[in-house]
Amino acid sequence: MRQLSYSEAIREALRLEMRRDSNVFILGEDVGQFGGCFGVTGDLWKEFGEDRVRDTPISETAIIGTAVGAAVTGMRPVAEIMFCDFLTVCMDQLVNQAAKMRYMFGGKAVVPLTVRTPVGGGISAAAQHSQSLEAWFTHVPGLKVVMPSTAADAKGLLTAAIRDDNPVMFFEHKLLYPVKGDVPEGEYVIPLGQADVKREGSDVTVIATSIMVNRALEAAEALAAEGISLEVIDPRTLVPLDEETILASVEKTGRVVIAHEAVTRSGFGAEIAAIIAEKALDYLDAPIKRVGSKPAPIPFSGVLEQFVLPGSQDIIAAVKELV
């Protein structure tokens, strides 16, 4: 199968959906001729023109406000927020408007809005450009939340997000953009709410999101040499969440590590831990372990940044505490 980078796979999904449906358009800062801050939108403006690949002012409030209005009146906007940290600027449009409209209009209004945004650290972008804020949005009824970890998943999940009649938050890790993987050609859809078993194992279940799926697979390789078998589960979407796949793995292994790059305190891993405690406590042979960032702003210094962010060694340490 051909190999595409994560960013190329996202661009291919955008291209195919824009060809398929003339109501799909892109808007955001520098998404046009510049090709996006991380180069994801690339040359789409050449094919679709400035009307459908729209550069906007530097105003997240205006971007999301415009996108919500366009969505509720029949378009399918894909809004890019250059860094997820800047979602703080447009929280009212997302949390109080986009997430509530379908409910408040008794289902007569739909909001087919996709918000793409890079998350995470690892590039010395400092405290205001390196956060992972996905847990905030999982707390809001009416929003769906997606975090793909591979190029193939990114393409299939973005296609599903664009076709969904509800607002979808689509979080893309910066370090994944250049990572290549097998990606099927043509259109395909990965349903939202369908987890993936990235590696089967028998001793410990590692539930990981986004870049931490890669870290978990690295940990699994290292621990396999020591005779410890990890099963790696990628939820892929946090809302809706595939509880069935997670609980089946917990029942199988009896031990659980949950890993995400977001700060451990009140991260989405706490929600997964609560679900396991409520529905699979009898299967657990050891306490649930969580791996995440330390409770500090992300430093600019590369050395300090790596100290704050979690890695494969943190997963290995957590697994060894359990076995």
- Per-residue pLDDT of 76-125, as tens digits, reads 999 999 999 999 999 999 999 999 999 999 999 999 999 999 999 999 99
Q: How is residue 184 annotated by DSSP?
A: -
**The dihedral formed by the CA atoms of 19, 21, 23 and 28, expressed in degrees to the nearest 10:** -50
Question: How far is it, in rounded angstroms, from Cα 58 to Cα 50?
Answer: 17
- Determine the average pLDDT of the residues in 1-17: 97
Question: How far is it, in rounded angstroms, from Cα 320 to Cα 183?
Answer: 34
- Determine the average pLDDT of the residues in 233-262: 98
Share of the chain above pLDDT 70, in %: 100
Tell me whether the CATH fold assigned to 3-182 matches the one assigned to 196-322. yes
Evaluate whether 121 touches 261 at the Cβ level (below 8 Å). yes
Is residue 25 very low, low, confident or very high in pLDDT (cuts 50, 70, 90)?
very high
- Per-residue pLDDT of 281-296, as tens digits, reads 999 999 999 999 999 9
pLDDT value for 15: 98
Whole-structure pTM over 0.75, yes or no?
Answer: yes
Q: Is CATH 3.40.50.920 what the domain over 196-322 is classified as, yes or no?
A: yes
Strands across the sheet containing 237-239: 53-55, 24-28, 76-80, 114-119, 168-173, 144-146, 237-239
- For residues 1 and 144, the model is more confident at 144
260 is an active site residue:
no
pLDDT value for 305: 97
- Determine the average pLDDT of the residues in 234-247: 98
- For residues 122 and 1, the model is more confident at 122
45, pLDDT greater than 90: yes
User: Would residue 236 be called left, alpha or beta, if left means φ above 0 and alpha means ψ between -120 and 50 degrees?
Assistant: left
pLDDT value for 6: 98
- Determine the average pLDDT of the residues in 264-269: 97
Point out the catalytic residue in the list 129, 139, 173, 260: 129
Spatial CA neighbour of 93 closest among 121, 119, 59: 59
Is residue 55 very low, low, confident or very high in pLDDT (cuts 50, 70, 90)?
very high
Average pLDDT taken over every residue of the chain: 97
- Per-residue pLDDT of 179-228, as tens digits, reads 999 999 999 999 999 999 999 999 999 999 999 999 999 999 999 999 99
pLDDT value for 280: 97
152, pLDDT greater than 90: yes
Q: Give one DSSP letter per residue of 244-304, joined into a string.
A: HHHHHHHHHHS-EEEEEEEESTT-HHHHHHHHHHHHSGGG-SS--EEEEE-SSPPPSSHHH
pLDDT value for 1: 84
257, pLDDT greater than 90: yes
Residues linked to residue 237 through DSSP beta bridges, in sequence order: 146
Domain boundaries, the chain: 3-182, 196-322
* Terminal C-alpha separation, the chain: 38
Q: How far is CA 158 from CA 9, 67, 165, 310, in A?
A: 9, 17, 13, 26
Q: Is CATH 3.30.930.10 what the domain over 3-182 is classified as, yes or no?
A: no
Q: How far is CA 55 from CA 33, 87, 287, in A?
A: 9, 18, 49
